Amino acid sequence: MIISENKVVALSYTLRDGSAEGHIVEATEENNPLTFLYGAEMMLPSFEANISEMEAGSDFSFLLKAAEAYGEFDPKAVIEVSKQNFAVDGVINEELIQLGKPVIMQDENGHRLQAKIIGVTADMVKLDFNAPMAGKDLHFTGKILTVREATESEIAHRHVHGPGGHQH
């Protein structure tokens, strides 16, 4: 069976930063694969395009340029805010504003946004709202382990149920 819309795919992979020789960002093993519903918009579209029509047992190796992955780094997504934004009952909690720490912020419409603290001064905090892999080329190698038809319930819920997927 080949990979196409509404198929459940299980695969193992290694993701490297920049090239086939780059730093390993993450990896899965055959005994703990990534399992997903192809076409449910849970994976990068360019990732899905690269494994389209493969079948169980197929090996893959491809590079996604930053623009095809999480986009180019956007300097406009780096902002400085007052430390007062981190005050609880009028007191700034210094533990909340540690360099490298992820934080959840809200925009003026109440939407939750994740940022990373990349700088702290006496009264300001510099936040990066770019995706962690923005601006990076991603190199994937791996193997398609299984491909099966999705159940009607999986298609309706837009995710995999059972082992490797969501448990209801």
- CATH number of 54's domain: 3.10.50.40
Side by side, the strands of the sheet bearing 112-120 are 78-82, 124-128, 112-120, 102-106
Same domain for 40 and 54: yes
Q: What is the pLDDT of residue 164?
A: 60
Q: What is the pLDDT of residue 11?
A: 98
Residues 6+ apart with CB under 8 A from 148: 1, 7, 8
Report, as an integer, the average pLDDT of 29-57.
96
Q: What is the pLDDT of residue 56?
A: 98
**pLDDT at position 4 over 80:** yes
Q: What is the pLDDT of residue 88?
A: 84
Residue from 14, 24, 26 nearest 59 by CA: 14
Q: What total of structural domains would you count in the chain?
A: 2
**pLDDT at position 163 over 90:** no
Report the alpha-carbon angle 97-101-107, nearest 5.
Answer: 75
Q: What is the pLDDT of residue 21?
A: 97
